[in-house]
Structure 1
Amino acid sequence: MASYRIRQYRDQDYDAVRTLFAHGILEHAPAGYRHFLHSARAQLGLLVFFVAVRAAAGYWVLGLGAVALVLAATWLLVRSFSTSYVRQALSTDLCDITTSYLRAPDSCFWVAEAGGSVVGMVAVAPPQDPAERGVALELKRMSVSKDYRGQGVSKALCGEVLRFARARGYGAVVLSTSMVQVAAQRLYEGQGFKKVGAFSPSLLGSLLCFQIFHYRCDLPGHTAAP
C-alpha cells in the first residue's frame, strides 16, 4: 500500500486540485452514456425512431444511420453535461479555494499527498439546502487519483470531514453523488451514509435518465433526522 498523508490545502496545490477534480468528473462520462443506453426508455425511443425512419425512407440502412447519428449526438450531450459541471465548479468555489473553504466559517479543504503530489481531495462546507443549515455540514469535491484508489485514501478523506463536523457540534454530514459513481456510493455507505433522496439535476439530466443521489450520515451522539 502506498504511503500518503492527509493535510490541509495550500495555495501551491491550486492547479493540481483543479486538474484532479476535472479528471475525476470527466472520467464518469462514459459510464453515464452506458447507463443511458441500458435504460428501457432510451432503448424504446431508439427502436421507435428506427422504425419511423425506416417506414418514412423505405430503407433500413437509413434507419440505422439515423440511429447512429442520434447515438453520436447523445454522447456529445453527455460529455457536454459533464464539462458544464466542471466549468461551473472551476469558476465558483474552486476558483478561489482559500476564500471558499479556509476563510469561510465551518468550512475546510484537505488534500491527500503522496510522493510530493496531490492524489486526493475533499472539502466541507455548510449545505446549500436551507433546511440542513445549522444542523449538518456538506461533504463536497471528493476525488482521488486512479492510481491511489482502493488504498484507503477516500476513506481517510471522508473521515476528516466526519471528524470536522463532529468537533463543531453538527449532527450530520450530507453529500450528493451521481448514480454512475458506484464505487463512491459503496464508500459512503461503508462510512455510515444512507441514501435519502434522488433527483434529476436538469431537463437534460432527465432526458439522459441521469440522477443525483442524496446521502446523509447522522453522527453518534445526535438524534437521527426523521
Structure 2
Amino acid sequence: MELTIRRYQDPDKETVLSLFSQGIEEHIWPCFTNAMSSPLYLCFSLGLGVTGYLLASGLGALVLVSGWAGLVYYCCHKFFADFVRDSLKTDMQDIAASFMAQPDDCFWVAETVATGKVVGMVAVVAKKNGAERHGELFRMIVSSAIRRSGHGSRMVQTVLDFCKQRGISKVTLVTTTAQTAGVALYQKMGFKLVRSYTKTHLPNWMRKITRVIILVMEKSI
C-alpha cells in the first residue's frame, strides 16, 4: 500500500482522534493476556481454582478465577482508557496548538495514495534541558492495515530527519512494556532504553496488577 506522509491539517481531526483512540485502546487485550500468562499469575489463578473447588466444587473455582481475571482486565482497561480520555481533553483537543505552534514542533499523518484515508500519525515536540535541545516523539499510531510493511519505520524516520534538519541531536520517547510491537520498532530504529519507572496515573495497586512498566528510550542523531 503506497502512503504519503504529510503535515496534519484541521480537516483531519475527527479521523485522527478516532485512530488515536483505537490505536491506544487496542493495547488493553495484549496487556491483559501478558499479565495473565505470567508465571506468577498462572500460579495464583491455579491456587484460586483449587481453593474455589475445595470450598464449593467447580462453580466456586469458576467464580474465583473469573473474578480475578475480571479484576486484571479492569485494571488494564483503565490504564489505557484513562490515558485516551485525558489526552482527548488536553493536547489532542487542539492538535495544531499542541504540536504545531512552534517551528521545531510538528504533527504528521500518513494517508493512502489511492483513497486519501489517514492510517497513521506521529508528532514531535522540541524540549530544552539547560543548553541541550531534544525532540520528544509523541502520538505514534499505525493502523493495523499497514503494519509489518515498513510504514512505521518511515514515520519514525520522518521525525528523525525533521529533528536533524533543525539541529536537534537527540530524540526521546516514552512507551510501555505492554506495547511490544512499538518497542520492537523503536529498537530496530536505533532507540535505546535509558530508564524505566512504574509511577502512573493509576493507584499503585492497580498499576501493579497490570504489570505495566513505563520505558524511556532515546536515539542520538
TM range (shorter): 0.7 to 0.9
Tell me by how many angstroms 1:116 deviates: 1.2
Superimposed CA distance per residue, residues 120-161 of structure 1 (whole angstroms, 9 cap, x where no aligned partner): 10000135xx75884311111011111111222211111111
1:27 alignment partner in structure 2: 26
The one-character-per-residue Cα deviations of 1:21-41 (angstroms, maximum 9, x if unpaired) are 111111111100011112233
Asked if structure 1 preserves the Cα contact closer than 8 Å seen for 2:8 and 2:107, the reply is yes
What is the Cα-based RMSD across aligned positions, in Å?
A: 2.1
Q: TM-score w.r.t. structure 2 length?
A: 0.88
Query: CA 1:132–1:210 in 2, change beyond 3 Å: closer, same or farther?
Result: farther
Match of 2:158 in 1: 160
Please give the per-residue CA displacement for 1:143-197, whole angstroms capped at 9, x wherever unaligned.
1111111222211111111112112222210112221222222221121111222
Indicate the residue corresponding to 2:207 in structure 1: 205
Q: Which residue of 1 aligns with 2:104?
A: 106
Which whole-Å CA distance do the structure 1 matches of 2:11 and 2:106 have between them? Answer: 16
Q: Which position in structure 1 is the counterpart of 2:121?
A: 121
Q: Per the alignment, in what secondary structure is the counterpart of residue 94 of structure 1? A: helix
> CA–CA distance in 1 between the matches of 2:108 and 2:93?
16
What amino acid maps onto 1:211 in structure 2?
I
Identity %: 31
Q: Distance in 2 between matches of 1:16 and 1:82?
A: 19
Question: What residue ranges of structure 1 are gaps of 5+ in the alignment?
Answer: 220-226
Moved more, 58-67 or 33-42: 58-67
Match of 1:214 in 2: 216
**2:126–2:134: 8 Å Cα contact kept in structure 1?**
yes
Tell me, what secondary structure is at the counterpart of 1:198?
Answer: strand
For 2:27, the aligned partner's letter is H
Give the aligned partner of residue 223 of structure 1.
none
Question: TM-score, normalization: structure 1?
Answer: 0.86
Is the contact made by 2:53 and 2:60 (CA closer than 8 Å) also made in structure 1?
yes
1:66 is aligned to 2:64: yes
Q: Give the 3-state SS of the residue equivalent to 1:135 in structure 2.
A: strand
Contact 2:52 2:63 in 1 (8 A): no
Unmatched segments (≥5 aa) in structure 2: none
Q: Which amino acid letter does the alignment assign opposite residue 42 of structure 2?
A: Q
What are the within-5 Å matches in structure 2 for residues 56-205 of structure 1? 57=55, 59=57, 61-104=59-102, 106-114=104-112, 115-127=115-127, 131=129, 134-200=132-198, 201=200, 202=202, 203=204, 204-205=206-207
Residues 72, 209 of structure 2: 8 Å contact kept:
no
